[in-house]
Amino acid sequence: MASNSPTPQQQSIIQATEGYVRVPAVPGSGKTYCLTHRVAHLIQDLYIAPDVIIALTFTRKAASGMKRKLRGLIGDVATCFMGTFHHYCSNILKEEIHHLGYPKLFKSLRRSDQNKFVREILKEMNLSARDYRERDVLEKIREFKVNGSYVELFEQEPKTKILEQSIQKADSAHHIMDGIIYRYLLKEFQVHALDYDDLLYFTVHIFKKYADVLDKWQDKCEYVLIDEYQDVSKVQAELADMISQKYKNLFIIGDDDQLIYSWRGSKPEYLIEFDKKYPNTQTYTLNCNFRSTPEIIKAADALIQHNTERLPKQMKTSNSTGSLPVYNCTKTAVDEAIWIADKIHESVEAGCQYKEIAILIRNSSQASHIEQQLRLHAIPYKAYAGAKFFESEEIRTVLSYLSMILFLDDLSFEQTVNMPKRGFGKSSMEKVKQYAADNQLTLFTALVTLVQAGEIKNKQIFEYCRHIYAMNKSHQGYSCLELANIILDWGYRETLDGDPDQEKKDNITALLQMINELEKEEDGPIPLHDLLQFFALFSPEDDENDDDKVKIMTIHTAKGLEFDHVFIPGMVEGILPSGRAVTKQAIEEERRVCYVAVTRAVKQLFLSSYQYQYEKQSSPSMSSRFINEMGENNLMMLQKPVESLAVNSPQKPSSYCTPQFVIAQRVSVGLWGEGTIIEVDEQKQKYKILFDAMPNLAKNIAFAADIKIL
């Protein structure tokens, strides 16, 4: 923001408190400013009670920023809920999940927990991890959950039997993926756990099924405000509609040009067609960018105008003029990395700090050449791995111990019982598992029983049981920081001290500092359950660090951030835009990704591509079409793009076909005969069809095939 006083546009938005309000806003136009000042206006000027104001966003970092700004405006009365959709749903489920037979203290699964479930399932089903990659399986599970109907399985009794019957049915029909999915759901229930998506779907299901529960929560939602609304999925839009229905005060602000999460269910129409869903919508537009120079804005605006599925708007600014964005095309990817390192040195010599520089990449595989050259040029940098920090063995171990003393669950048990090493190997684990299965016990209860019976004689295991049992009973008397230190003193700190890998010790120190900062932020100890949920819902965007280092991060991670100097390498066809983008909608999303990257720059923008990614590449890489679309006159061209696609060239290959059929449709295909479509893959241009003549093996049939509907 140029000043602390709102512009006339912003003032109108802040004061339009009643009804449905939509605000399309360009990058750097003060979206968070408007939202927080609007909340301050409601509380301070209109005397609305803070506990009936709900402000939702998508990252904890964004929520924390809003809270800080609101406290700066109105002080201690800033007590309204400001948090992520998932955090809000977690709060609701603490009170309402008993309707589905879950305990109040349910476990939130981390990504590592989900991966462990998948590995166990593949082993149970004798399936190859090479054929069923963890990431692909979890994506299929996510797709299965997308309409929320699966939650009904958790409502029926007995749940375990119902889920086991679903598994048997899938196995008998040789539907392998269904068998995997139902086993995953069973494992979730067995440890009373929810994954990231369940938090949303369970909440919406309860609201649909129990009108009194919905009414209770609607009473607490007199004013609902949603930041970055372009990122909502169908279930999030549905949730926003449900909680705002009583008072009908729903404020949304966002930028359809920054929608880059279609893979998790976001669609442009949720923002673009908001006024059709709510006919009395008041629409205000924020089109003044307070962040970037006019030169950067001109290139960004020229780029995004090539999209057709968007609200019409043109970005403007009153900022001082600067330098033209620079484009360079080097011979190789290594040369590109060297050029970036040289430009960083020039920027720093001109007075820029390292931390004001960011290198934004389309995918993490681009980082290797760049990191190597930054090291060779002695440039300090940080590559943002985000959530990977929480997937390191040492962090998973401490968090699993914290989870174990709260839940005594099987998942945490397996991750802690032999960490550090206690002489508890595979045979001991199998013995405990068998005893637990035979007697319908948890693994921890089974272990305690066997130890007490003298069937397992291991002093270290006895101490493990004693520690866990004691802390399970007394953990409420300690802060989370104290608990973490107590756990480390059970032998794991000593193990780390003897490990030559300093990074592990540094990670533990960082974790303890993070817990300490969280408790300071809440002005005292926070419940252990809340801490575990915070870490389970952590995203790469939440990773905060103010060290004086160049930042390397994906464009998705950079969303919402700004840097004085921004580098966007790898602007070649196949990377940006992605080679998987073969539809018009996919290309438009790739253009939005590029637009997000460009608009992170405050003072200077550097774009680059290369002719050859590696030495033996037979033909040169084609420069990204987005370079041409930004306009040659809007860029300082150090080298011409390589055979770049013309601005008006087709955005999809001539072989592209639009899918003509849908899942569950009966069709006939030439010699294959009649069958049922079970999957539509628009990216790969194919259907998966289960033919009547081969009921146990689905075939992949191209869109271009001669297919007739039955």
Q: What is the DSSP string of 408-470?
A: --HHHHHHHTTSS--S--HHHHHHHHHHHHHHT--HHHHHHHHHHTTSS--HHHHHHHHHHHH
Q: What is the DSSP string of 236-253?
A: HHHHHHHHHTTT--EEEE
In degrees and rounded to multiples of 5, residue 681 shows phi and psi of: -115, 95
What's the confidence (pLDDT) of residue 656?
Answer: 52
Look over the chain and give the mean of its residue pLDDT values, rounded to a whole number: 89
Residue 535 pLDDT > 90: no
- CA nearest neighbour of 450 among 468, 433, 467: 433
From CA 181, how far away is CA 132, in angstroms rounded?
Answer: 12
pLDDT digits (tens, 9 = 90+) for 514-524: 888 788 777 67
Q: Which two tokens stand for residue 380?
A: 């300090």
pLDDT digits (tens, 9 = 90+) for 428-485: 999 999 999 899 899 999 999 999 999 999 999 999 999 999 999 999 999 999 999 9
What's the confidence (pLDDT) of residue 321?
Answer: 94
Residue 655 pLDDT > 50: no
pLDDT digits (tens, 9 = 90+) for 491-522: 999 998 888 877 788 888 888 888 887 887 77
Cis peptide before 158 (omega within 30 of 0): yes
SS3 16: coil
pTM score, two decimals?
A: 0.80
Q: Residue 644: which residues within 8 A CB-CB, separation 6 or more?
A: 622, 623, 624, 625, 627, 628
Proportion of the chain above pLDDT 70, given as a percent: 95
What's the confidence (pLDDT) of residue 300?
Answer: 96
What's the confidence (pLDDT) of residue 385?
Answer: 62
Average pLDDT over residues 568-589: 89
Residue 646 pLDDT > 50: no
